Every structure is written in C-alpha cells, then in structure tokens.
Structure 1
Amino acid sequence: MEKSTNYYNTFIEVAEDCLLTKAEIPIERGNKKTVATIQFYKIKENPYLYSSDDIVFDIYVSKNAVESDDIEKEKALFFSKGQPCLRCSPLPKRYGWGIHYNVEGKIAIYAIESDEYSKLKVDAELKHLKAMRSSRK
C-alpha cells in the first residue's frame, strides 16, 4: 500500500521556533545542492505544478542517483514505507516559507512577510498545520 505525504486544502505555517520575520532563499553548500535549495527552486519556479509526493521523491532520486529505468520500481518501494512530509522541510522550519496545498494537493510556497502568507494564515477554509520545530522544548 502506498503511503502519501500529500495534504489537500492545507497551509503549513512556519515553525514556531523559526526566528525569521523575512523569508530567506536557501543557498548551496559548496557546489552541492541541499534539500532546501532543491525544494525551493522546484516549488518556487513551478507553483501548483507538483505535489508533496513529487517533491519528496525527486529529492530521493537526486540524492541517490536513481536510474531512469528504475524510477517506477523505486517509487513503489519508496512509498511503501512512510516518508517525512513537508512539515519537516527546511523551508518552513528554518527559512521562513509557508507551504500551501490546493484542493488538488499541488503546492506553492509563500514568504512569511508576504501578503499572500498573511491571507493564507487566516483562511478558515484551509486546514492549518505548523511546520515541525527544529528544537525540542
């Protein structure tokens, strides 16, 4: 049975322990793309095109150099186990980006200081979740 990371009609707010009041764009470490940079550019440049499952699996493929011939088999195996959802993403945990899932489960990100973020944060039509905290209290 496939275990999805998708949400629908949901807004993931920035984590309570994120100290930023203005979102930051994640940067690469050395010449290597980080999880945050891959997620940021894929979502920011393609709002409402990808689902959480698409993004999470894309990171796995990038980090593990999965061959294109093996994609479907790897995807089935990958989602046969539970995977962390985007509440664990560095974007809302560390960098100040809220994640909005539309009714189809497609996602876009919004900076914490933006008008769009403020509107989504108070939208009663959406399910609201906080990103996971970075530290334990």
Structure 2
Amino acid sequence: MKSTNYYNTFIEVAEDCPVASAEVPPLKGNDKTVANLQFEMVQNRPYHYTSDEVLFGVYAAKNNLPAEELATEREKFFSKGQACLRASPLTKRYGWGVHANEEGKIALFALESAEYEKLSEDKALKVVKAMRSKRG
C-alpha cells in the first residue's frame, strides 16, 4: 500500500500561491469541493487525521461510498500512487500550510500567522513547498 503521510514535516504554500493570507475555500454552488472537504476535516479536528485519512475520507465522501465498502475501497485507492497534500488546493491556492507531527497527524496554519512562520523556520522539521500550479 502506498502512503501519502508525512512525519515531522511542514508543507509551505506554493511559490505561485495567489493569496497573501489564507482563505476558507468557497463552495461551488451548493456543492462542497475537495478543498472544502479537506479544510473542514483538518480545521475542525487538528492533529486528529493523517494525510491518508483525509485524502481517502474526501474521496469516499465525493464518491458516496457505502460504509461496508470502505475497507476494500481504501485498499484499492492506495494500491496506486495518490497525490499528497503538496498538491492540495489548500496549499496551492488557498494559503494554508500543513504541519505533520511525529505521528503523521496533520493541522493547518494560515500563511499570515505567527505559527506558520515559526513552523517554516523550525530546524527540527523537514520543510517542503507545495507544488506550483504553473510550470516555471
């Protein structure tokens, strides 16, 4: 099984992120987007979920997977590589940094916050940038 989890890592926003301060992802009409679902899961319960749990939870919600199929579908989902949170719209578009602790549990930090700055300079963490939206 392939994993997207990070440990003791801080994912900074992408270099080409278009915002100077973090934004809550907007709804698309009445529908929640991947960004909305990821944001709600992590913001409402910081350091509760791993990256794998968030990515699969959003996939399951978007595809209305029945509870009895979750274990099988999770195995299928992670049998092939998945984009990690470095490719999330939260880190690429909406200005949220992601900190993964030693257990791989994640929390969001707004680009303009003191906590974001502190984490981005923390020598005990591996600090990586989110993926750019455009080549360059």
Q: Could you tell me the TM-score, scaled by structure 1's length?
A: 0.97
1:64, distance to aligned residue in structure 2 (A): 1.2
Query: 1:70 and 2:57 equivalent?
Result: no
Query: 1:130 and 2:93 equivalent?
Result: no
Stretch of structure 1 that moved more, 60-69 or 31-40: 60-69
Unaligned runs of 5+ in 2: none
Residue identity (%) = 57
Unaligned runs of 5+ in 1: none
Q: Could you tell me the TM-score, scaled by structure 2's length?
A: 0.98
1:49 matched residue in structure 2? 48
Specify the SS of the correspondent of 1:129. Answer: strand
1:47-126 mapped onto 2 (5 Å cutoff):
47-126=46-125
- The size of the alignment, in residue pairs, is 136
Stretch of structure 1 that moved more, 108-117 or 60-69: 60-69
1:136, distance to aligned residue in structure 2 (A): 1.0
1:59, distance to aligned residue in structure 2 (A): 1.2
1:26, distance to aligned residue in structure 2 (A): 0.5
Runs of 4+ residues deviating >3 angstroms? none
1:21, distance to aligned residue in structure 2 (A): 1.5
1:10-54 C-alpha deviation (Å, 9 max, x unpaired)? 000000001321111101110000001101111011000000000
RMSD: 0.6
1:67, distance to aligned residue in structure 2 (A): 1.0
